[in-house]
Structure 1
Amino acid sequence: MRPHAQARSAREIQRCRPENRGRNVERSLSNEIAHKSRHRRKRRMKMEQEADRPAPAHWWMVGVLCLVNAVAFIDRAALPLLVQPIKRDLGISDTMMSLLIGAAFIITYAIGGFLVGVLVDRFSRRRILGIGIAAWGVSTILCGSATTYAGLFLSRCGVGAGEATCGPASMSLVKDAFDTRFRGRAVAIWAMGASIGGGIALLAGGAILHLVGENGAYVVPVLGISIRSWQLVMIACGVFALPVALLVFTFPEPARRSAGPTKSVAFKEVLEAIRGRWLVFALLFLANASTIMLSVAYSSWVPAFLGRVWKIPAGEIGLTYGLIVLLLSTTSQLSAGFLVDLVYRRYGLPGVPALGIAICALIFLPAVLAPAAGSISATWLLLAAFNLLAASLFTIGTSTIVHLSPGSVIGKITAVHFAWVGITGTAVAPTLVAVIADRMFEGTQSALGSALSTVGGALAIAGGLCLLAVYWQMRPGRVVSSLIPESAR
């Protein structure tokens, strides 16, 4: 008999002995019980995952919030397209125009944001959004009706106050409606509104300027009132916003995961909630400020740069650049949402800033080279690459803030965050480019392009370094175990 056959026979004889039969039965029963237990556990986990899956109403809510964000950014993107005609009609400088784009908006946006943050954590977020949308729609119409720099400046302040409601209210709703498995995608869909709004503003504004002419005027039928082309663009943006205010009442408000709508949480409790994670928040705020400044600097001055350096009419700039923003930036933000959820599942929260570091490294070259390209074809190609990458950074940064923030104080934290990035992005970035162009490059023909390259490269490096510091603080063995409290899950 062969050796392996002898061994098999010995095992069978051993198994058949009376004293081993009971053990074999017990072992079989134990294996069967363990198998059933694993099966029940898997089925229970699957049922829990299905129960946590967002309801269709919540996805509809995110779609409406995306539209709200789009309407908000229609105004922000339209104004930079109108730099040349507004400067010509009102007789103002680049620096005065940058204050109109930035400071006039952000003064009330930042101040109003703190108040909105308190209200969002206590009262109906749908109602707050509806009032805010109506307010900035009316203010945008007033911008189009202004005939002086002072009137336009004050109307822009009204737009900032209304738009201060958008970010905190939207992020509070998303936090309560989606768990961590879907939150990145929900934030990405909301953030897509910025690119959709920016693209629509450039396309529609470019079409109006192309039809009416940059220096032309439009006579309103019946009334016989003549308005300039830039005024027509702004009035159209404001009118479009008003019906959107009603859409926020078409979805149910999700139940709050922690503090109820009538419970007041003081800012002292906000500090208590982030204690132990303050350095991560501080570094993340710096990182997000750098990446937002990078995006805003380009979106504010690229239309003027293309007009001055390449002599492209504003209408053509709006149509071409609008398509780039509408198609590539929205694709970037949606893809970033899926990537955020993917790296969060595989690597935990530290994987999210690591993704941002990679994007900052990739965006450096197009940020520096796009304004210095030797041909218009290369310029458009590099601008397309820049927009494809830049839009994802906003989704990554905002998703990280939402993951980190406890649900009871998310309104206040996101209000501070949006006010901070608004001040640094909307107010500082456009003025920084203008000042560098005027002072460092002495206002030459190529000054604006050189300023964009300088600012773009510096901010890409700054954003990457800050995100590297965020990742270093979140890495395993440091504060990562205490980063996400139960209320933030």
Structure 2
Amino acid sequence: MTAAAAPGARTSTGYRYVVVWFLAIVYTFNFMDRQIMSILAEPIRKDLGLSDTQLGMLTGLAFAAFYTTFGIPVAWLADRARRVWIMAAACGIWSVFTAACGLATNFTQLALARVFVGVGEAGGSPPSYSLISDYFPPKERGTGLAIYSLGVPAGSMVGSALGGWVAANHGWRMAFFVVGLPGVLLALLLLVVVREPKRGGLDALAAGHAAHPPSPPIGAAIASFFANRTLVLTAISSGLSAFVGYAMLSWNPAFLIRVKEMSLKDVAVYYSLVMGITGMIGTFGAGFIVDRLGQIDRRWYAWVPAIAFTLSVPFFAGFLLAPNWRVALAFLAVPALMNNMYLAPAITVIQNAVAPAQRTVSSAILLFILNLVGLGGGPVFVGMISDHAKPQYGEHSLLIGLAALFPMIALTVGAHLAASLSIGRDKRLADAL
């Protein structure tokens, strides 16, 4: 069966969970291909003679600039065309160019391959968010989106474990081939497994009417997003959350190897398990919690991540100052869990605060801000500070770079608290939730 449009708004509970778990697998490959550069940073740096600033650009800016640029027009197309076909094409593109990273012999070639990984991945998440919202009713949407978001920690875990093991035994180039090429088969399976549902059908049922207005022009959709205080504050708080989260995710492996003397094989086994298990608990737990606490007070959609980032601070300090990598990993477990608790609540707010015909573009704008600020800025920020401190601190300069994230965590908490005020007053959210 191909991605033919489902005729009705209702689908069986079993099938909608098949869909969301399959989309989570696709997202796992998406994030695995996105983040493998972090686990391979040290062998690539030594082989190609790169600086920390260049590594920060490869793990962040080279990908994020084109991921964000292409995300909005692809999302606009997905609001009008078959989302499943768009996602399948995107999956094929990012997989092929992930494998192509293994052919690079210098910084420019590697950056160019990363650019096209970003172009492909731009067609992944916004259509997925829209599909999930058409399979899950508003009051269960947080759980569905949280299941999908498990792809972030799962992709980090599998990418770290598989990429690290392959790199340690067969070199970093082979790691790109092994991680990238299976995604081409996954793209074909996507067309078989996932059906295109009726757009906005569940929201129409919940609202007691038959249909929603058609998708507006892209300019009107963008203007509508930035005219909505709730959406803007949610995007800003998510961007700052991603700044901290992506900076840690991109540099933790290099920090453990350089400063804590952890081997690449140990990173592949122990670091990947810590990041994967805690990340999945945090991601799913946040969606589960806000689906329930949000019924009592909508502001929990922003309070949960604000509390989580606050609790992470002393444990992140312990990670940086730990005497060895084993103690460092024990401390890292808490920030790894807490820093994953913003995404599912933010996506749920966006999906419920706009009309169904604007969901894909609104999600793309959220991801534009989140990734431009977070993925584009966070890794480069830490890398530049590390390079600046290197003449004085040597290999320990990366500790200085990561410590510079503490003021950003404070800004992140403040942004989530500001978003909570607007969420509490938002009429559309009140009707949806």
Shift of 1:304: 0.6
CA contact (8 A) 2:212 2:356 kept: no
Match of 1:34 in 2: none
Match of 1:483 in 2: 428
Match of 1:318 in 2: 268
Using the alignment, how far apart are the partners of 1:440 and 1:206 within structure 2?
Answer: 28
Tell me if 1:265 matches 2:223: no
Match of 2:5 in 1: none
Closer, same or farther: CA 483–458 of 1 in aligned 2, 3 Å: farther
Shift of 1:473: 2.2
Segments of structure 2 that go 5 or more residues without pairing to the other structure are: 1-8, 205-210
CA contact (8 A) 1:104 1:153 kept: yes
Shift of 1:351: 2.1
Q: One-letter code of the match for 1:238?
A: G
Match of 2:372 in 1: 423
Q: One-letter code of the match for 1:295?
A: G
**Cα offsets for 1:451-485 (capped at 9, x unmatched):** 21221x2222111101111112233xxx33x2338
Name which one, 1 or 2, has greater alpha-carbon Rg: 1
Shift of 1:200: 0.4
Q: One-letter code of the match for 1:236?
A: V
Using the alignment, how far apart are the partners of 1:173 and 1:120 within structure 2?
Answer: 10
Closer, same or farther: CA 289–248 of 1 in aligned 2, 3 Å: same
Closer, same or farther: CA 233–331 of 1 in aligned 2, 3 Å: same
Shift of 1:271: 5.1
Tell me if 1:155 matches 2:110: no
Tell me if 1:254 matches 2:197: yes
**Cα offsets for 1:397-446 (capped at 9, x unmatched):** 22222222221111111111112111111111001001122225656232
Matches within 5 A, 1:440-479: 442=391, 444=393, 445-455=395-405, 457-475=406-424, 479=425
Match of 1:4 in 2: none
Using the alignment, how far apart are the partners of 1:53 and 1:421 within structure 2?
Answer: 32
Closer, same or farther: CA 443–286 of 1 in aligned 2, 3 Å: farther
Q: In structure 2, which of residues 150, 155, 159 is the aligned counterpart of residue 192 of structure 1?
A: 150
Closer, same or farther: CA 310–273 of 1 in aligned 2, 3 Å: closer
Q: One-letter code of the match for 1:142?
A: A
Q: In structure 2, which of residues 137, 140, 156 is the aligned counterpart of residue 179 of structure 1?
A: 137
Closer, same or farther: CA 440–279 of 1 in aligned 2, 3 Å: farther
Using the alignment, how far apart are the partners of 1:298 and 1:139 within structure 2?
Answer: 25
Q: One-letter code of the match for 1:239?
A: L
Segments of structure 1 that go 5 or more residues without pairing to the other structure are: 1-50, 213-228
Match of 1:72 in 2: 30
Using the alignment, how far apart are the partners of 1:304 and 1:366 within structure 2?
Answer: 19
Tell me if 1:102 matches 2:53: no
CA contact (8 A) 1:370 1:453 kept: no
Using the alignment, how far apart are the partners of 1:279 and 1:211 within structure 2?
Answer: 51
**Cα offsets for 1:308-331 (capped at 9, x unmatched):** 112221121121111112211112
* Secondary structure, aligned partner of 1:392: coil
**Cα offsets for 1:233-267 (capped at 9, x unmatched):** 00111112111102222122111117999955213
Using the alignment, how far apart are the partners of 2:117 and 2:222 within structure 1?
Answer: 30
Tell me if 1:305 matches 2:255: yes
TM-score by length of 2: 0.90
Match of 1:18 in 2: none
Task: Name the % identity.
Answer: 24
Number of residue pairs the alignment of both structures matches: 415
Using the alignment, how far apart are the partners of 2:276 and 2:423 within structure 1?
Answer: 34
Using the alignment, how far apart are the partners of 1:293 and 1:341 within structure 2?
Answer: 25
Tell me if 1:133 matches 2:91: yes
Q: One-letter code of the match for 1:120?
A: A
